[in-house]
Structure 1
Amino acid sequence: MPENEAVLSFLEARRSVMVRDMVEPGPDAASLDRILKVATRVPDHGKLTPWRIKILHRAGQEALGARLGEIFKRDYPAANENKIAVEAERMTRAPLVLAVVSTPDVNHPKIPVQEQLLSAGLVCYNILCAALAMGYAAQWITEWPAYSPDVVAHLGHNPETDRIVGFVYLGTAREQPTERPRPAVEDVARVWEG
């Protein structure tokens, strides 16, 4: 079977860019369309598409940020105004944010919710890889908003069943990231024979 050396080399060197190191520009409309097409080419048992992607340009980022500030103030009444302002600006740290929400069919007779959740995680990973391959900066982050039922509901989803699997921040790298330590294969992979 022929190898695709360029793809393997990319995956061997793939490195997220910290959101604090992102600047304008983010992906233009054509680039975003391509990123989203790649994002949806993931394993999806039963073709359920058990995920949705919210595209947050500046207006969406600010609207979600305002809600984050309200939630944080409610949940942490002792927080000072500076901390609340930081939380309200959380989504505006990069030119574009994609929120990926797992929307499983919890009553499906054959396909477990876990498989559907993993498919949503792969959407985040494909967004990350596609953006990086196109020369953009990208980082997949959860942080507290991903675990907040209020945020899930604010994005128009059911907090009883749906989960935010990630916010993928996209922009341009201020500078290229340095490599970080990776696990040695022999530390994480073993032959198992029963």
Structure 2
Amino acid sequence: MPITDQAALEFLMTRRSRPAKMLAPPVPTRSELEPILRAALRSPDHGKLEPWRLIVLERAALVRLADLVTARGGSLGRDENDTVKARAQFNDSHLAVAVIEVQKPSDKVPPIEQSYSAGAVCLGLLNAALASGWGANWLSGWPAHDRGFVDSGLGLAGHERVVGFVHIGTARAEPPERPRPDTESTVTWVSE
């Protein structure tokens, strides 16, 4: 019979992201962030390819990226409200980690599985930050998918892409509980 890690199971059953706009200083120090990053990188990685990397964005970098969002939004002709919202993601943040997918050539691990692995790093990072007592939120938005933004703002190579920005800080308030998926309507059991 398996031994249940009740504390871990309880954490997973009750975990809640904290809205990024509700995160404030203090943020983790480098030494406090290090175990969170290590935990995130223990995500499933078929073929041990490490098809991802992390970019830690501290306050000055986030302000620079907020300005770039405004510039890119204008040059792309994006709706002003869209640009203001996207800018706030960076301007209001004090620490974020960009999870970057880095596809690796492989005969055994197809690209989609490498994408799944990078997504697992985002979830691992989010959960590790929450389990460490910090507030955290996984966001993307149009800047994450704009080549001009990611190339000039983050220095990404052409074969790299942003999977998400995980914002980490101190939660100013608890978010309200929201409805969760119902297993009756989302799970199918196959017996034969």
TM-score scaled by length of structure 2: 0.91
Q: Offset of 1:94 from its aligned partner?
A: 2.2
CA RMSD of aligned residues (A): 1.9
Query: Whole-Å Cα distance in 2 between the matches of residues 84 and 148 of structure 1?
Result: 12
Query: Whole-Å Cα distance in 1 between the matches of residues 149 and 45 of structure 2?
Result: 25
Matched, 1:101 2:100: yes
Letter in 2 for 1:17: R
Indicate conservation of the 8 Å contact 1:62/1:89, yes or no: no
Q: What are the within-5 Å matches in structure 2 for residues 182-193 of structure 1?
A: 182-193=180-191
The C-alpha deviation readout for 1:106-127, integer Å capped at 9, x for no partner, is: x322211111111111111111
Indicate conservation of the 8 Å contact 1:17/1:177, yes or no: yes
Partner residue of 1:72?
73
The C-alpha deviation readout for 1:149-169, integer Å capped at 9, x for no partner, is: 11221212233x322110001
Give the 3 Å change call, closer, same or farther, for CA 88–31 of structure 1 in structure 2: same
The C-alpha deviation readout for 1:7-58, integer Å capped at 9, x for no partner, is: 0000000100001111111112221001101010011111111111110001
Partner residue of 1:133?
131
Partner residue of 1:38?
39
After TM superposition, the structure 1 stretch with the greater mean CA deviation from structure 2, 119-128 or 83-92, is 83-92
Partner residue of 1:156?
155
Letter in 2 for 1:93: D
Partner residue of 2:29?
28
Partner residue of 2:121?
123
Q: What are the within-5 Å matches in structure 2 for residues 38-57 of structure 1?
A: 38-57=39-58
Q: Offset of 1:84 from its aligned partner?
A: 5.5
Query: Whole-Å Cα distance in 2 between the matches of residues 122 and 77 of structure 1?
Result: 30
Give the 3 Å change call, closer, same or farther, for CA 132–74 of structure 1 in structure 2: same
Q: Offset of 1:181 from its aligned partner?
A: 0.1
Give the 3 Å change call, closer, same or farther, for CA 13–87 of structure 1 in structure 2: closer
Structure 1: runs of 5 or more not aligned:
none
Indicate conservation of the 8 Å contact 2:21/2:89, yes or no: no
Query: Whole-Å Cα distance in 2 between the matches of residues 186 and 85 of structure 1?
Result: 39
Letter in 2 for 1:66: D
Q: Offset of 1:172 from its aligned partner?
A: 0.7
